[in-house]
Amino acid sequence: MSRNQNIGRVGEAIAKNYLIDKGYKIIETGFKSNRWGELDIVCSKNSILVFVEVKTRTSREFGVPESAVTIHKIRALKRTAIYYCKTHPECSKSLRIDVISIILDNNLTNVKYFKHYKNAF
């Protein structure tokens, strides 16, 4: 596993624990569509199905992590979310896409920055 993959996994675990602490029910992690992309976390709260994109870095050298959520990434997330709902007919009709942005120290042990954008787009 590359360092970037490891950073991503650590960030997703932190985001998942945060969401659980905030009362979200985790439904699935790492849902993949071969055609559209991946949903990092699928969860629900208050009858709303939430798709969460997690962006994690170890510095601000290239900006905050959420800046990596480009228009192309947004389109892919929306398409993957639609595909998820088509393959899961029990999906809630209330949907949203969130972004969680995390900056970790170089040892990947301490969170230096954390931001949760609800209904990001």
At 42 the three-state DSSP class reads strand
* pLDDT tens profile 37-88: 999 999 999 999 999 999 999 999 999 999 999 999 999 999 999 999 999 9
CATH number given to 3-117: 3.40.1350.10
Question: Are the C-beta atoms of residues 33 and 12 closer than 8 Å to each other?
Answer: no
The yes-or-no verdict on residue 5 having pLDDT over 90 is no
The residue ranges of every structural domain in the chain are: 3-117
